[in-house]
Amino acid sequence: MQLTNRQLFRQNLAVPADIPEAIEIESAEGIFLTSVDGQKYIDLVSGVSVSNVGHRHPAVVKAIKEQLDKYMHLMVYGKYIQSPQVRLAGLLSSVLPEKLDSVFLVNSGSEAIEGALKLAKRISGRSEIMAFKKSYHGSTHGALSILGDERMKSAYRPLLPNVKLLEYNNLDDLDKINADTASVVVEAIQAEAGIIIPSQDFMHKLNVKCHENKCLLIVDEVQMGFGRTGKMFGFEHFDIEPDIVCFAKGLGGGMPIGAFVSSKENMNLLTFNPALGHITTFGGHPVSSASALASLKLILDEGLHKKSNDKGLLIASGLEKHPKIKTIRRIGLMLGVELKSDFSAARMVKILQGHHLIVDQFLFNESSFRIAPPLTITEDEIRVVIEMLNACLDDL
């Protein structure tokens, strides 16, 4: 007897968490997911900030199909000139600060972080890394080492040495940055802590301390990049000058790709003395690069990054007066909805799924759930969502 997909999911697919109520998806388009039994769900998390231009946007699908008709993988990264890679690198560099002009393409956010950590060590000649409590940067060895929650780390120690965790948005803790520090890794807005927006003073002092001590400021834009915050990148809300920026998720238009970006001078340290300082087989896969290029063009051409703040404000204003909501933390079209202490965010997520709305919890904030729909969601769709969300809150 042939096993069902659900049986295979339970039996043969290794997964990071047990989710017995997982939905089996047949198709997706725009903000909608359709299950195998024909039920339509509204995706209010964009696959965790991946599908910023919606699922299967026609422009992205067209670019993917056109690239498939030309070639897929050719050779390990950097051996051949491949149009999707170089065009993506050129366009991405053009919307970043001038000194961030060299793009190293990888496969994921975790890989981008790993590359950034290596580059910072190579530039500085130091090994001490500073990051922040309740931060999330991935689960590979180096990324896990700088993750800001011991519950996810303890089973895998020993991890990288010389890692220090600071309090996010605490100005005094920034005085711990010193001449031994190779790099400070920061999210412009902390995502998994529940959408924590730092003060301007905090980010300014962080920038100053890094430059005073000649340590590398690495900004993780994996969740906040590409229009999610109301600007193209989260760090643009603050007076900071990143030395290295990491991207993934919303970069790819739904395809797997990541990148870390720095100056050409810095990146040359991975090219020479020794050569092959950082290598990848599939990084910047031409099909993923074509998808990413189409997605980035779409965001810029349609000004989706400029529209996301108004859309996020519309959602927040439609929910904030509900008596079961304690507060809403928001930047652009990324919301952390915190419930009052009598109510469970985990239960709310399940209730919403039962009513065909997909939201998600945060890793390090049990009282809140996230709302981060595709940037392409319309105001009419938002009004429908607000009505459904309020009805589900009534049922909580």
Domain boundaries defined on the chain: 23-56+303-395, 59-302
Q: What pLDDT score was predicted for residue 21?
A: 83
For the chain, strand residue ranges (E) read: 25-29, 32-35, 40-43, 102-106, 128-132, 163-166, 181-187, 216-220, 244-247, 258-262, 325-331, 334-339, 357-358, 360-361, 368-371
User: What CA–CA distance (Å, rounded) separates 309 from 305?
Assistant: 8
- Looking at the DSSP bridge assignments, the partners of residue 29 are 32
Distance, CA of 362 to CA of 370 (rounded, Å) = 7
pLDDT digits (tens, 9 = 90+) for 234-254: 999 999 999 999 999 999 999
Instruction: Give me the pLDDT at residue 285, please.
Output: 98
Q: Tell whether pTM > 0.75.
A: yes
- Domain 23-56+303-395 falls in which CATH fold? Aspartate Aminotransferase, domain 1 (3.90.1150)
> Taking the chain, what is the end-to-end CA distance rounded to the nearest angstrom?
41
Q: What is the pLDDT of residues 49-74, one digit of tens each?
A: 999 999 999 999 999 999 999 999 99
Cis peptide before 158 (omega within 30 of 0): yes
The residues pairing with 131 across neighbouring beta strands, listed in sequence order, are: 165
Nearest to 255 by CA among 24, 53, 7, 21: 53
- Taken as a whole, the chain contains a residue count of 396
Question: For the chain, what percent of residues have pLDDT higher than 90?
Answer: 96
Sheet strands side by side (includes 32-35): 25-29, 32-35, 40-43, 357-358
**Percentage of the residues of the chain whose pLDDT score is greater than 70:** 100
CA distances to 10, 88, 252, 283, 346 from 297, in Å: 39, 9, 11, 20, 37
Give the model confidence (pLDDT) of 363-376 as tens digits: 999 999 999 999 99
- Rounded to whole angstroms, the Cα distance separating 124 from 147 reads 22
Residue keyed to tokens 């992205």: 60
Q: How many CB atoms lie within 10 A of CB 199?
A: 12
Per-residue pLDDT tens over the stretch 79-128: 999 999 999 999 999 999 999 999 999 999 999 999 999 999 999 999 99
Q: pLDDT band at 4, cuts 50/70/90? A: very high
Q: Give me the architecture of the 59-302 domain, per CATH.
A: 3-Layer(aba) Sandwich (3.40)
